[in-house]
A and B are shown apart, each in its own frame.
Chain A
Amino acid sequence: MTDDQRSLEQIYRDEWGRIVATLIRLLGSFDLAEEAAQQAFAVALEEWPQQGTPANPRAWLVSTARHKAIDALRRKQRWEDRGDPDEAMRGLAHKPDTALEEETLPFEDDRLRLIFTCCHPALNTEAQVALTLRTLCGLTTEQIAQAFLVPLATMAQRLVRAKQKIRDAGIPYRTPQLPDLPERLSAVLLVVYLVFNEGYNAAGEGRALSEEAIRLGRILFELMPQEAEVRGLLALMLLNEARRAARQSEAGDRILLEDQDRSLWGQDRIAEGLSLAESALRLGPGPYSVQAAIAAVHAQAQTASQTDWPQIVALYDVLLRMQPSPVVELNRAAAVAMSEGCEAGLRLLDLLVQRGELPNYHLLPAARADMLRRLGRWTPAAHAYREALALATHEADRRFLTKRLAEVETRTY
């Protein structure tokens, strides 16, 4: 490796996950690994400015952390005054030097082990998300708590419990093999997508979550390039994130896709997303790849009116077959309204209402309201906007609906 010009902060961001992943393998404990990694970074902060950044910062940090862990275990042993060295000690004493290990063992395997362990189905989803952000992304407990609007103590407790369960229930530190791999991978992808969505509409701290999710998506793509859905999810995230600058007004109001200033879309991310979406579909499409394909159709339209709506409807048909859900039906109905007219879209939405689907989902009445508004049926449109307002909780959603309701109300008189 050549001289490392990265700042320590950058190295922390790039390497934390790899270092912790390797330390967990060496030390057999999440807590010990995290603590040792933190100590190693503290030593680096002190020593590197004087002695210069080592040629291979990661190997240096792993090696330093390992020695810190050995010291900690020795101290603990002396404290407990036990004659027999415990298992972790014995394991450590016989490990070859880390610099050597780095040459022989691929670090990538450790990160895969780590993400599959963090997203093990024996942990609940909230714990999976928190643990992934803490260990693989290196977010602090404070940052995660702030991003999810959860008290710090609650988040700390969630992480402690998850780590205890991994230890006490014997969740293995291992990449799953076939036949379990597809299901385990979809759990990992779901965690990444949940992190992304949490950041999608968030302001401030939460916004960083979308970037973290994309970073996780890139790591997964690097480690599992042959998996179509890994590509599909990364493509979907990139194509959605590309529109961030256009999605909100300066006042923080939501701007719908059709009203967005498309010159604000991030063309680099769109180009990357399009190529990934295309290769994902070629490898064998799954739900993320198809959603990415839908986002790709939008991304390719120069103006809203040039959107290839029949193509989007066809993609929703594919998605519905893969993943039947009333939310997908709702989105398909909105595409049908654009493609075949609002009457056709309304008929589909009314079927959903009749079936009693999505009773508390504000986007169902909001979509009906929008179609009724486009048809100039002001009174029923106003009624539907009120229904949506009664269900919407997010501030930006409420502002948007209130504005639309006021517009249609002026027409009813």
Chain B
Amino acid sequence: MQYLLLIYAAESQWSTMTEEQGAKMMAEYGAFTQGIIASENYKGGNRLHPVAKATTVRVRDGKTVMTDGPFAETKEQLGGYYLIEAADLDEATAIAARIPGARLGSIEVRPIIGM
């Protein structure tokens, strides 16, 4: 099965990190990503720019309406994701727990509907 692991955290946690802390975090992410590539769980993943750079698009009555910012204002924001292949939810949640960001914020594990 495939799962999308959505990484949520308060963006302020990243912005208030010292350079050293930030570098350490990035190194941990690098090691984690290499780990799930090696175990063949990795299908994809990216880090996202902060919500300040988000644009929300809606189409109403055939007209495209754009607004600055995220779809919803929340305490924790989506900061990145991994797409993984896992045997079952237990394997997926075990991988999610190893994402460095799980210690800062939370990881939402969403099963992908096979098309």
Give chain A's interface residues, CB within 8 Å of chain B: 120, 122, 168-172, 174, 176, 180
Within 8 A of A (CB), among B76-115: 86-90, 92-93, 109, 111, 113
A122-B89, A169-B111 known; 8 new pairs, CB 8 Å cut-off, are A168-B111, A169-B89, A170-B1, A170-B3, A170-B111, A171-B90, A172-B87, A172-B88
The chain B residue with its CB closest to the CB of A184 is B90
The chain A residue with its CB closest to the CB of B113 is A168
A residues in contact with B87, CB < 8 Å: 170, 172
The 5 residue pairs across chains A and B that have the minimum distance between CB atoms: A172-B88, A170-B88, A170-B1, A170-B89, A169-B111
B residues in contact with A170, CB < 8 Å: 1, 3, 86-89, 92, 111
**Chain B nearest CB: distance from A118 CB in Å?**
14
B residues in contact with A122, CB < 8 Å: 89, 93
Q: How far is the CA of A180 from the CA of B97 in the complex (A)?
A: 13
Q: How far is the CA of A170 from the CA of B113 in the complex (A)?
A: 11
A residues in contact with B113, CB < 8 Å: 168
**Chain B nearest CB: distance from A182 CB in Å?**
15
Chain B interface mostly helix, strand, loop or mixed? Answer: mixed
B residues in contact with A172, CB < 8 Å: 87-90
A residues in contact with B93, CB < 8 Å: 122
Chain B: number of interface residues, binned into ranges: 10 to 19
Q: How far is the CA of A187 from the CA of B88 in the complex (A)?
A: 19
Q: How far is the CA of A120 from the CA of B87 in the complex (A)?
A: 16
10 A-B pairs with CB atoms under 8 Å apart are A122-B93, A168-B113, A170-B86, A170-B89, A172-B87, A172-B88, A172-B90, A174-B88, A174-B90, A176-B90
Q: How far is the CA of A170 from the CA of B92 in the complex (A)?
A: 9
Q: How far is the CA of A180 from the CA of B90 in the complex (A)?
A: 10
A residues in contact with B86, CB < 8 Å: 170
Q: How far is the CA of A206 from the CA of B88 in the complex (A)?
A: 36
Q: How far is the CA of A169 from the CA of B113 in the complex (A)?
A: 9
The chain B residue with its CB closest to the CB of A173 is B88
The chain B residue with its CB closest to the CB of A180 is B90
**Chain A nearest CB: distance from B95 CB in Å?**
13
Q: How far is the CA of A170 from the CA of B91 in the complex (A)?
A: 10
Q: How far is the CA of A168 from the CA of B88 in the complex (A)?
A: 10
Q: How far is the CA of A169 from the CA of B90 in the complex (A)?
A: 10
**Chain B nearest CB: distance from A56 CB in Å?**
32
Residue with the greatest number of chain B CB neighbours at <10 A, chosen from A168, A170, A171, A172: A170
A residues in contact with B111, CB < 8 Å: 168-170
**Chain A nearest CB: distance from B94 CB in Å?**
9
Q: How far is the CA of A120 from the CA of B109 in the complex (A)?
A: 15
The chain B residue with its CB closest to the CB of A120 is B89
**Chain A nearest CB: distance from B10 CB in Å?**
25
The chain B residue with its CB closest to the CB of A166 is B89
**Chain A nearest CB: distance from B114 CB in Å?**
10
A residues in contact with B88, CB < 8 Å: 170-172, 174
The chain B residue with its CB closest to the CB of A172 is B88
Q: How far is the CA of A180 from the CA of B3 in the complex (A)?
A: 21
Q: How far is the CA of A177 from the CA of B113 in the complex (A)?
A: 28
Q: How far is the CA of A168 from the CA of B89 in the complex (A)?
A: 10
Q: How far is the CA of A265 from the CA of B87 in the complex (A)?
A: 51
The chain B residue with its CB closest to the CB of A176 is B90
Interface string of B57-91 (1 = CB under 8 A from A): 00000000000000000000000000000111110
The chain B residue with its CB closest to the CB of A168 is B111
B residues in contact with A120, CB < 8 Å: 89
The chain B residue with its CB closest to the CB of A121 is B93
B residues in contact with A168, CB < 8 Å: 111, 113
**Chain A nearest CB: distance from B57 CB in Å?**
28
A residues in contact with B1, CB < 8 Å: 170
Q: How far is the CA of A174 from the CA of B89 in the complex (A)?
A: 11
Q: How far is the CA of A162 from the CA of B89 in the complex (A)?
A: 14
A residues in contact with B90, CB < 8 Å: 171-172, 174, 176, 180
Q: How far is the CA of A120 from the CA of B90 in the complex (A)?
A: 10
**Chain A nearest CB: distance from B102 CB in Å?**
15
Q: How far is the CA of A120 from the CA of B89 in the complex (A)?
A: 10
Q: How far is the CA of A174 from the CA of B91 in the complex (A)?
A: 12
Q: How far is the CA of A39 from the CA of B92 in the complex (A)?
A: 36
**Chain A nearest CB: distance from B98 CB in Å?**
14
Q: How far is the CA of A174 from the CA of B93 in the complex (A)?
A: 15
B residues in contact with A176, CB < 8 Å: 90
**Chain B nearest CB: distance from A47 CB in Å?**
38
The chain A residue with its CB closest to the CB of B90 is A172
Interface string of B1-17 (1 = CB under 8 A from A): 10100000000000000
Q: How far is the CA of A122 from the CA of B93 in the complex (A)?
A: 10
**Chain B nearest CB: distance from A28 CB in Å?**
12
A residues in contact with B92, CB < 8 Å: 170
The chain A residue with its CB closest to the CB of B92 is A170
**Chain B nearest CB: distance from A253 CB in Å?**
48
B residues in contact with A180, CB < 8 Å: 90
